[in-house]
Amino acid sequence: MPAIVNPMFNCCAGGGAGFAQPSQITKNVFLGDMEDASDFGKLKRLNITHIVNVTEKPPVFPDDFLYFSLSLRDQPDVQIAPFFLESTAWIRDAIAMKTKDGEACNILIHCKAGVSRSVTICAAYLMRIEGMQLHSAVEWMYHQRPVICPNEGFKLQLAIFEAELFFGSSVVRSHQPRWNFYELNRVKQKRKWKDIAMPPGAPDIRYPCCIVS
């Protein structure tokens, strides 16, 4: 498979100071903030047709884009996992649609800052639809958008979701500080998840946005 390269030095505009553009996660999925979701011109330039709105605010352009809205707060005690199946299926079905020009549809997943809520939904999508392990999914998103930082409650729910999907955990033995916190460690000890070996090198993305031969 072609190597995945850093978008800051290639085609994606999502890296860079201030994140003036949404961060491209796959060929058709972008991760962004409320400012991105409120810029009609930017959305059109990126050929966005569908928007996953993970904020408590209503859609900005309900007559111009198709929305999937989750009115959730960014707090560790908020239950976001019950929406994983429905939201990821919606994203999958949206990508399968075609525009009037016969192109695949592009999706923006956003919350207020593009740091926690939207990242959590995107990670669930990468696991359930793209078949990625949680560790690889989060590292890939961090690679594309270094500001990501899901709260601990959301990370715990993602870890449990991965164990349900793959009957094991890719974060059990992770040395990344983001996977070392009390509640997750307590659950890991209690449930004794089977360790999923993390593959070496870049994660396997079916439709990466930046590749080199």
Catalytic residue among 111, 122, 209, 210: 111
pLDDT band with cut points at 50, 70 and 90 for residue 102: confident
Cα separation, 183 vs 148, in Å, equals: 20
In this prediction, residue 10 carries a pLDDT of 34
In this prediction, residue 198 carries a pLDDT of 60
In this prediction, residue 175 carries a pLDDT of 87
* Residue-range domain boundaries for the chain: 10-194
More confident residue, 128 or 11: 128
In this prediction, residue 204 carries a pLDDT of 52
Share of the chain above pLDDT 90, in %: 73
Phi, then psi, of 159 in degrees rounded to 5: -65, -40
List the end-to-end C-alpha distance of the chain, in Å, as a whole number: 8
Mean pLDDT of 77-96: 97
| 3-class secondary structure, 4 | strand
In this prediction, residue 173 carries a pLDDT of 86
In this prediction, residue 127 carries a pLDDT of 96
Q: Are 26 and 203 in contact (CB under 8 A)?
A: no
In this prediction, residue 40 carries a pLDDT of 97
pTM of the model: 0.86
Mean pLDDT of 120-145: 95
pLDDT per residue over 23-65, tens digit each?
999 999 999 999 999 999 999 999 999 999 999 999 999 999 9
In this prediction, residue 12 carries a pLDDT of 42
Structural fold of domain 10-194: Protein-Tyrosine Phosphatase; Chain A (3.90.190)
- What would the 3-class secondary structure string for 87-124 be? HHHHHHHHHHCECCCCCECEEEEECCCCCCHHHHHHHH
Q: Is 169 left (phi over 0), alpha (psi -120 to 50) or beta?
A: beta
Cα separation, 115 vs 131, in Å, equals: 22
In this prediction, residue 58 carries a pLDDT of 96
More confident residue, 12 or 39: 39
pLDDT per residue over 150-180, tens digit each?
999 999 999 999 999 999 999 998 889 999 9
Pairing of strands 106-110, 48-53: parallel
Cα separation, 186 vs 193, in Å, equals: 12
57, 25, 157, 203: CA torsion to nearest 10: 180
Catalytic residue flag (residue 111):
yes
Q: What is the mean pLDDT of the chain?
A: 86
